């Protein structure tokens, strides 16, 4: 993974964090609720898949569940694990079509956390980078595509939105 991509992501983190800090309206789950879900989901999922796959699966499910249940407390009341919609969500999260290897992911996370640590702190950098990895891997299933991300792409509204979403972790 190119270090320039990570350094560019870091510079956008700094500018996006100012925008994110201004947005105090609660939309969706809190950072702690997201982290708790991801942690518990990964513990369970690791029984049936690699840590790497569990992380990807859990990020995918968290995103889908947060869209359906903006208030995390509604999950206990309304989640139907046997519904066709839920089964479809599980299947879509299990098969990403990605060609990223465990090494690609590990390298991305290490470089990202190393670059983001000074601005975000250790824990926040890990959460931000795991989210960024998930979103970048979904958008660019081939790691060589991700390595070619340009400054122009990173300045796009979609990319800035992704960064803001990941800063919420």
Give, as one character, the DSSP assignment of residue 28. Answer: S
At 27 the pLDDT is 67
CA 84 – CA 102 distance, rounded (Å): 31
At 44 the pLDDT is 92
Tracing tokens 């369970």 back to the chain, one arrives at 44
Tokens (6 digits) for 146: 């991700």
At 96 the pLDDT is 66
pTM, two decimal places = 0.71
Q: Do 169 and 129 meet the contact criterion of CB atoms below 8 Å apart?
A: no
At 16 the pLDDT is 39
At 78 the pLDDT is 85
* Domain boundary assignment for the chain: 27-167
At 162 the pLDDT is 92
Count of residues in the chain = 169
At 56 the pLDDT is 86
First to last CA, the chain: 23
How far out from the chain centre does Cα 89 lie?
Answer: 16
Which residues of the chain are modeled with pLDDT < 50? Answer: 1-25
């Amino acid at each position: 993974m190119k270090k320039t991509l990570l350094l560019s992501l870091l510079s956008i983190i700094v500018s996006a964090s100012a925008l994110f800090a201004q947005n105090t309206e609660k939309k969706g789950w809190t950072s702690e609720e997201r982290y708790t879900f991801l942690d518990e989901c990964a513990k369970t999922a690791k029984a049936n898949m690699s840590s790497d796959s569990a992380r990807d699966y859990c990020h995918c499910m968290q995103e889908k569940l947060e869209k359906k249940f903006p208030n995390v407390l509604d999950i206990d009341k309304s989640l139907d694990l046997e519904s066709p919609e839920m089964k479809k969500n599980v299947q879509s999260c299990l098969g990403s079509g990605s060609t990223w290897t465990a090494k690609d992911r590990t390298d991305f996370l290490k470089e990202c956390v190393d670059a983001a640590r000074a601005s975000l702190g250790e824990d926040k950098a890990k959460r931000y980078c795991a989210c960024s990895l998930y979103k970048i891997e979904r958008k660019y299933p081939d790691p060589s595509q991700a390595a070619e991300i340009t400054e122009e792409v990173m300045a796009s509204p979609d990319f800035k939105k992704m960064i803001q979403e990941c800063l919420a972790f």
